[in-house]
C-alpha cells in the first residue's frame, strides 16, 4: 500500500519524496481534479494526502471525496508554512455536518 501527495507547493512535495511518497503539485481546480482521479485509479494508493492549501483550492470536491470514497483514506496535512487555523476548521466541520454553530 502506498501514499500519494497532492500539494500546492514544490517544497512539501520534495520533502515527501525524500520520505518515499510520490506526489504532484497543483495550482488550480482542474489540475487538482485530474490528480485526484489519477491517484484514486491507482489501486495501490491506500492514503491520499493533501496539503491544507491544496485541498482549499476546491474544498467542495475534496469534501465530497472524503464522504463518498472508502479507499483511499483521504487526509489533510499542513505544509511548510504551517497549519490553517485549526479552530476555524473544527467549527466549520461541526457546523456543516450537524448544523450547530459553536
CATH number for 52: 3.40.50.10580
* Per-residue three-class SS string for the chain: CEEEEEECCHHHHHHHHHCCCEEEECCCHHHHHHHHHHHHHCCCEEEEEEEHHHHHHCHHHHHHHHHHCCCCEEEEECECCECCCHHHHHHHHHHHHHCCCC
Q: By the 8 A CB rule, do 82 and 39 touch? A: no
Q: What is the pLDDT of residue 99?
A: 64
Give the strand pairing for 45-51 and 2-7. Answer: parallel
To 10 degrees, what angle do helices 29-41 and 59-68 make? 20
Q: What are phi and psi of 10, to 5 degrees?
A: -70, -30
Q: How many domains does the chain have?
A: 1
Domain range for 44 is: 2-98
List the chain residues with pLDDT less than 50.
none
Q: What is the pLDDT of residue 25?
A: 95
Q: What is the pLDDT of residue 84?
A: 60
Q: What is the pLDDT of residue 85?
A: 60
Amino acid at each position: 500500500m502506498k501514499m500519494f501527495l497532492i500539494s500546492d507547493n514544490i517544497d512539501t512535495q520534495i520533502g515527501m519524496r525524500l520520505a518515499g511518497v510520490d506526489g504532484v503539485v497543483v495550482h488550480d481546480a482542474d489540475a487538482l481534479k485530474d490528480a485526484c482521479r489519477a491517484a484514486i485509479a491507482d489501486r495501490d494508493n491506500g492514503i491520499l494526502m493533501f496539503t491544507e492549501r491544496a485541498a482549499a483550492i476546491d474544498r467542495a470536491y475534496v469534501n465530497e471525496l472524503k464522504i463518498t470514497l472508502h479507499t483511499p483514506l483521504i487526509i489533510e496535512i499542513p505544509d511548510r508554512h504551517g497549519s490553517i487555523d485549526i479552530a476555524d476548521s473544527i467549527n466549520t466541520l461541526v457546523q456543516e455536518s450537524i448544523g450547530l454553530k459553536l
